[in-house]
Amino acid sequence: MNAVTAHPGGPCRPSRSVPRVLTRARARARALASARTLALALAFALLTGAVHAHATLVFGIVRVVPDPPTPGEAFTLTLTLEDPSLTPVEDAIVFVELRPMPAADAPLPTASTEAPDLPPPLRSERLIEVAPAVYQTEISLPDGDSYHLLVRDQTFQWEEANASVVLPLLGRPVGDLPFILPPTQVAPQSLWTWIVWLVGLPLLAGVVVTLLVLRSQPAAAKKAEDGA
């Protein structure tokens, strides 16, 4: 209910100060609610969805097409990557190296975050992401033998995760060849990037929304006064 102001020698008129204060309070409340909603939406979008690179275990599968490869012809080597929650791992920088199998008494390198000490590879290829978390390259190798396939994830500039797979090219179907990449440490540059995304952008969004609402206050206040 509007306050009443008495004017000497004239009728009483409702005070316009109360509607103006209420209009400003409502505008501030709407601005704050909009900023909170936008900040939560940005944070949720950043914390869900596809994983980019990885700081956890990554489960991979190697496949060849055609399977088995046609003797004497190139084939497509395909890798798929998922994290423990089965979320696709996208935007990874993945290389594969192929070498002859070591002697029978020499084990393959275990999964590691350090580059193994190995002889030069027969082939070294970077895989291209052809679909979310699906990486491919063309390979040509002599058939009738098995090869040591080293998968190297070098997404982070100063970090690496690698795992070994036995690739049998013996004229029989290869099937699915699983491997596990160990977690890599998040580089400082990546950490600061995530801090900016998770904290800076929601705050900036809140400031922008607040400014937009405050700029609309004069028009809203004038409309409220006219209605009063």
Domain harbouring 77, CATH code: 2.60.40.1930
Among candidate residues 31, 43, 35, the one with its CA nearest the CA of residue 196: 43
Per-position DSSP letters for 196-222, written without gaps between them: IIIIIHHHHHHHHHHHHHHHTHHHHHH
Whether 32 is covered by a domain: the verdict is: no
Tokens encoding 92: 């990874």
What's the confidence (pLDDT) of residue 29?
63
The secondary structure element, H or E, covering residue 134 is strand 134-139
Q: Check if the beta carbon of residue 79 is closer than 8 Å to that of residue 179.
A: no
Q: How many domains is the chain partitioned into structurally?
A: 1
Whether 216 is covered by a domain: the verdict is: no
What's the confidence (pLDDT) of residue 183?
87
Full-model pTM: 0.59
Whether 106 is covered by a domain: the verdict is: yes
Whether 28 is covered by a domain: the verdict is: no
Whether 134 is covered by a domain: the verdict is: yes
Whether 165 is covered by a domain: the verdict is: yes
Among candidate residues 82, 94, 89, 96, the one with its CA nearest the CA of residue 53: 89
* Strands 75-82, 134-139: pairing kind: antiparallel
Q: In what order do the strands lie in the sheet with 161-169?
A: 123-126, 94-100, 145-153, 161-169
* Burial class of residue 158 (count of CB atoms within 10 Å of its CB; 0-12, 13-18, 19+): exposed
Whether 150 is covered by a domain: the verdict is: yes
Whether 4 is covered by a domain: the verdict is: no
| Per-residue confidence in pLDDT tens, the chain, 228 aa | 454 555 555 555 555 555 555 566 666 666 666 656 655 555 554 444 444 445 689 999 999 999 999 888 999 999 999 999 999 999 999 999 999 998 877 889 999 988 888 999 999 999 999 999 999 999 998 888 899 999 999 988 778 999 999 999 988 999 999 999 998 765 545 555 656 656 666 777 777 777 776 776 665 555 556 655
β-strand partners of 62: 79, 177
Tell me which residue range forms the domain holding 108: 56-181
